Chain A
Amino acid sequence: MFTNPTFMFIQVMNSFALGMNLFIIAAGLTLIFGVLRVVNFAHGAFYMVGAYVLMTMTNLIGDTNTGFFLGVLAAALTMGIIAFFIERFLLSHLYDKEHLLQLLFTFALVLIFKDLVKMIWGPLQHSISYPPAFKGAVDLKISYYPAYMLFLSVVGPVLAIGLWLALEKTRWGRLIRAARLDREMLSALGTDVKLVFSAVFVFGSMLAAMGGALAAPRIAVDPGMDGLIIIDCFIIVIIGGLGSLWGSFVGALILASLTVFGTLIFNEWEIVLVYIMMLTVLLIRPWGLFGHPDEERH
């Protein structure tokens, strides 16, 4: 099986597509941590909200391309609005408090969102159709490959480059990077740091919801879908380095490859493999592959 080049090609493609979906979600988590220094347990819940909003939109508009893409947009916007209120009226009061309070707060959000989702959409499992444009398979000459997985493989890198450019080349990007390095100095220089924090939390949460909406057609949408993804996200940002965009990109690819190839080679040991990888990184480079040692001091 492993000597078959077509088979190996498909598995590499599988790893990449899965990795890109994970990256979109983890990028939001790492961005929020990098700037706000808040470990957001509710990131998985925001991902879940994204999937449910997409479901509502495709139910309203129909299983069309328009329905799907407007749905993804609506998922990100809805979560952005909710995140704005969460940050402005609740989370912002906890920045100068100890980390434990922030953790408890985001954990409380997880429980609240779980119940809200069940109240609004019910306890049953749901499935969202692929957008018609990416429903079937594409002939890659060596093999047929699911169109939606190719779509994810394109969206991920495009978003990564877009985010990188935004962080490096725009004024807002510079402010965000400055807030990461020294929030007091930035504030002393006259920048409204509160606004930067708010924007980062909103944007990071929008990425979670968008990632949830994009993942939705491949999985079941149910009130428990937040649990697994948050663990994956933490593994990714620990491997890649908390706060690092490219770290989460590489971390996502590593986790996805371990998942896919681990299933093939070790099967029952696959889950252990992921944790061994994480432990190794923590022992050798506690700040992660792309992180900076000084991040720990904050």
Chain B
Amino acid sequence: MANSFKNKLLATTTAMIMTSGAAYAEETIKVGILMPISGGGASYGVPAVDGVKMAVDEINNAGGVDGMKIEYFVRDSQLKPDVAVAAARELITKEGVDVLVGAVSSGATLAISELAKQEQIPLLAPVAKAAALTSTKLHPYIFQLAATTDSEGRQMADVLKTIGAEKVCVSGFDYAYSHDLFESLDKNLPDGIEIVDTFHVKLGTTDYSAVISQLMGSDCDTVAGAVWGGGFIAYMKQAGPFGVFDTKKLVWGAEVGSSEMAGALKGDYPEGMYAAAYDLWYVEGSEAHKEFLANLAVIEGTNETKMYPVTTYIAIQFIAEAVRKAGSSDPKEIAKALVGLSIDTPLGKRTIDPDNHRTNTGEFWGPMVTVSGTEAKQMSPAEYLE
């Protein structure tokens, strides 16, 4: 009798715990955000978190996803794989997140992707571009929302053809991203355009004088570059006085066409350089994009909004739609629902390819030119390439 009572009590308690757990799970969708919010990567991470905040506020204010609110937890991944993994682990075990979004650098993202695979928690990568993420390292829980080096190389080849390049020097940081990009570029180059020299620099270096002197000594007519972030600023500042801009045409990937970069370099940004960007505040586009920019302007307190918010905004849109489709915030169900999912974003329709978990993310490409009334150069005309 006593045993029977104990068993009943145990069963009831277990049932209560389970029910309350289920009820709680239904109330919120927990999203872990891994972004560099300190150090040199903060210029990407901080705006990226703005995009998350904006999407989450919009969804929650509209009643959530089938009544479930989204709750997000931000952790500093810096640009370091070990820091990113430790933060991701903490988000999974302590906060109990259902899905992860991050990080910025390909190295850090590849590292968290392994953890996501082990823990069976979906990871949406909005910024990292290394093709390896969704080729050799593809698994059921990784989804690459950023453009990849495969598509970027193809776009770069198109641009080189447009500007009439013949002999091309390539220059980037000496690591996976640049290697993959220039391999893809080489594959996509039409007849008549060839890569004649490769000048790579150590990742994170601040002195480019040695490679710039080499570049000046090469007979290439065009430089295709992939140095990004602060490295791009330093590269351009140091290349200018050596006369690189007067003697060679420039085509640069790695989203250096962003208004952040143009705003930093101002008059020192090479006139006419072809660059790429995910989003540009001065390209209005569709009604959805106009509305997105107007709302972002409120959060950022300026109409000249940044480029990275749109990438994480779209990531949250994907998560919300996946939960809606799955009818649950269970990580495994979210991962299944993401496969082949299509959504309308401020930048048009995006679909996750069921075969390789990539999206059809395009980029704006065009020459950066001086525009009256502002110090920062702007991409004009800006063409959206997929």
Q: Which residues of chain A have a CB within 8 Å of any CB of chain B?
A: 1, 4, 7, 10-11, 14, 17-18, 114-115, 118, 123-127, 129-130, 135-137, 144, 146-149, 215, 217-220, 222-225, 227-228, 256, 259-261, 263-264, 267-268, 270-271
In the complex, besides A14-B207, A220-B231, 9 extra interface pairs with C-beta distance below 8 angstroms are A11-B210, A118-B38, A125-B230, A127-B237, A148-B241, A218-B206, A220-B232, A224-B42, A260-B210
Which of B42, B174, B217 is in CB contact (< 8 Å) with A4? Answer: B217
- A125 and B259 CA atoms in complex are apart in Å by 12
Chain B: which residue is nearest A148 at the CB level? B241
B243 within 8 A of A: yes
Residues of B within 8 A of A118 (CB): 38, 42
Whole-angstrom distance between the Cβ of A9 and the nearest chain B Cβ: 10
Interface flags, B204-232, vs A, CB<8A=1, else 0: 11110111011001000000000001111
The answer to whether the Cβ of B161 comes within 8 Å of any Cβ in the partner chain is: no
Q: Is the CB of A129 within 8 A of B268?
A: yes
- Shortest beta-carbon distance from A80 to chain B in Å: 25
A7 touches B230 (CB 8 A): no
A-B contact pairs, 28 of them (CB 8 A): A10-B213, A123-B42, A125-B43, A125-B229, A125-B261, A127-B264, A127-B265, A127-B266, A127-B268, A136-B241, A146-B238, A148-B241, A149-B209, A217-B237, A218-B234, A218-B237, A219-B230, A220-B264, A222-B42, A222-B230, A223-B38, A228-B204, A228-B206, A256-B207, A260-B207, A260-B210, A263-B211, A267-B200
- B209 / chain A contacts, CB cutoff of 8 Å: 14, 17-18, 149, 260
Chain A positions within 8 Å of B45 at CB level: 123
Q: How far is the CB of B254 from chain A (nearest CB, A)?
A: 13
Rounded to whole Å, the gap between the CB of B216 and the closest CB of chain A is 8
Taking a contact as CB atoms under 8 Å apart, the answer to whether A7 and B237 are in contact is: no
A220-B39 in contact given A124-B264, A228-B206, A267-B200 (Cβ < 8 Å): no
- Determine whether the beta carbon of B210 is less than 8 Å from that of A220: no
Q: How many residues of B contact A (CB 8 A)?
A: 42
Set of chain A residues within 8 Å of B38, measured between Cβ atoms? 114-115, 118, 223-224
> Taking the nearest CB of chain A, how far is it from the CB of B379, in angstroms?
18
Tell me what chain A mostly uses at the interface: helix, strand, loop, or mixed.
Answer: helix
Enumerate chain B residues within 8 angstroms of A14, measured Cβ to Cβ. 207, 209-210, 213
Contact indicator per residue, chain B 258-273, by CB within 8 Å of chain A (1) or not (0): 0011011111100000
Q: Which residues of A contact B46 (CB under 8 A)?
A: 123
- Cβ < 8 Å to A, chain B residues 37-79: 37-43, 45-46
Partner of B213, one of A11, A18, A219: A11
Partner of A219, one of B234, B241, B242, B263: B234
Q: Decide yes or no whether B201 CB sits under 8 A from chain A.
A: yes
Nearest B-chain residue to A271, judged by Cβ: B202
Name the A residues within 8 Å of B214 (CB-CB).
1, 264
| Nearest neighbor of B174 in chain A, beta-carbon distance | A268
In angstroms, Cα B239 to Cα A218, docked, is 10
Q: Are A220 and B241 in contact (CB under 8 A)?
A: no
Q: Which residue of A lies closest to B212 (CB)?
A: A14
Q: A227, B40: Cβ atoms under 8 Å?
A: yes
Assess the B39–A227 pair: CB atoms within 8 A.
yes
Assess A220 versus B234: contact at CB under 8 Å? Given A127-B265, A270-B202.
yes
- The 7 residue pairs across chains A and B that have the minimum distance between CB atoms: A224-B40, A220-B230, A146-B241, A123-B42, A224-B39, A220-B233, A14-B209
